[in-house]
Copies of this chain bind each other. A is one copy, B any other.
Amino acid sequence: MEFLRFPSVSSQTERAGDVRDCANWLVRHLKGIGLNNARVIPTQRNPIVYASWRGAPGRPTIIIYGHYDVLPGEPLKDWLTPPFAPTIRNNNLHGRGAADDKGQLFCHVKAIEAYLKTRGALPVNVICLFEGEEEIGSPNLAPFVERNRRALNAVAAVISDTRMISAKQPAISYAQRGGLRAEIEVFGPPHELHSGAFGGAVHNPVLALCDVVAGLHDDRGRVAIPGFYNDVRAWGEKERAFMAKSGPSDQGILRSAKVETGWGESGFSLYERTTIRPDVTVNGITGGHTGQGVKGVIPARAMAKVSFRLVPDQRPEKIAQLFRDHIARVTPSTVRSTVRTMSPIRPALINRRHPAVQAARQAYKKVFGVLPVLIRSGGSIPVVHIFQNVLEIPAVLMGFGLPDDNIHGPNEKFHLPIFLKGIETSIWYLAFASNWRRVP
Contact = CB atoms under 8 A, between A and B. Distances in A.
Interface stretch (A119-127, A149-157, A190-198, A386-394): A190-198
Interface residues of A, number: 102
A322 interface: no
B379 A197 contact: yes
A71 B407 contact: no
Contact of A290 (B214, B305, B309): B305
A223 B106 CA distance: 57
Contact of A281 (B199, B284, B302, B309): B199
Contacts of A342: 294
A295 B270 contact: no
B293 A283 contact: no
Contacts of A305: 288-290, 294-295
A181 B407 CA distance: 37
Interface in A7-37: 9-14
B253 A198 contact: yes
Given A211-B214, A288-B305, A408 B295 contact: yes
Interface string A65-107: 0000001101100100000000000000000000000000000
A206 B285 contact: yes
| Max count, chain B CB within 10 A of own CB: residue among A199, A215, A259, A288 | A199
B217 A207 contact: yes
B282 A196 contact: no
B378 A279 contact: no
Contact of A284 (B181, B256, B289): B289
A437 interface: no
Contacts of A192: 75, 78, 408-410
Nearest to A406: B191
A200 B71 CA distance: 21
B214 A295 contact: no
Contact of A307 (B179, B277, B294, B302): B294
Interface in A376-408: 377-380, 406-408
Contacts of A215: 214
Nearest to A379: B196
Contact of A283 (B296, B300, B307, B407): B296
A407 B192 CA distance: 9
A204 interface: yes
| Max count, chain B CB within 10 A of own CB: residue among A201, A261, A283 | A201
A107 B193 CA distance: 25
Given A199-B274, A206-B213, A213-B207, A281 B257 contact: no
Interface string A267-307: 00011011001110111111111111111111110111101
Contacts of A200: 264-265, 273-274, 277-279, 281, 309, 378
B274 A378 contact: no
Contact of A282 (B206, B282, B411): B206
Given A210-B285, A217-B207, A283-B294, A201 B262 contact: yes
Contacts of A72: 289, 291, 293, 295
A72 to B, nearest CB: 6
A177 interface: yes
A277 to B, nearest CB: 6
B283 A285 contact: no
A333 B261 contact: yes
8 contacts: A10-B293, A78-B300, A163-B197, A191-B410, A194-B407, A200-B281, A201-B264, A210-B214
Given A74-B295, A191-B409, 7 more contacts: A11-B292, A195-B281, A202-B264, A206-B282, A282-B299, A284-B288, A284-B289
